[in-house]
Amino acid sequence: TPLYSSAASDVYKRQLMSAEHSEEVALVTGGGSGIGAALCSHLAGRGTKVWVADVDEIGGQRVANDIGGTFVRLDVGDSDNWAGVLDQVEDAFGHLDALALNAGIMIRPQGENTEDDVLPWILKNHEKVVSVNLNGVLLGILGALHLLEQSARGRIVVTSSGVGLKPLESDPVYSMTKHGVIGLVRSIAGPLAERNVSIGAVCPGGVDTPMMSADVRATGRKIASASNMASSLISVLDKPLSLIHI
């Protein structure tokens, strides 16, 4: 006969996890929806103090309210905006344990069909996509490094994409930025490790988020849930530094 019921054991495990992560501070970009919102929820559920960063003030504040976190408006492509947000984190806690660089956009407006000619969209929007998807990752790493170094073990996880490993004709610029993110993560991992900061990337395929286009959604192909992808991001954050593969 077990000493504890299964339900009681689960409660005990959650209490231990909450205590383990109660001093942990995390910042999640793109935290107002999709994978970012799910990740914020997962982190808060285990006791982490979560900063929800997004340009979407309504969505970001809603997520922060739901999880008991802190919302900050952040355009990840703006270095001054990064500095201001990280100053707030430093003033509040003096360190940052986990940074999830998850914000991303595609060349077309969110949810638009991908069956039209992509070249006019590239001419119109390529600078913003590069700013968010690629520059935003580098600015986040460099800007937050001094706070991550104040942690016992600073960790960074980046949301790349499966199309960072293969082409995407319907959105070449998105694919380009995700290839660039993978190259950055692989190349900067060594210098960060010397500072006791780990970095890893996750490359999702199709995920059920507002970014998914209507025509892709209509194909009925199997897509992952945002919650499952958030679990994958957490598994990268939780790996010991020695197990992060470049």
Q: Which residues are catalytic?
A: 174
Q: What are phi and psi of 100, to 5 degrees?
A: -110, 110
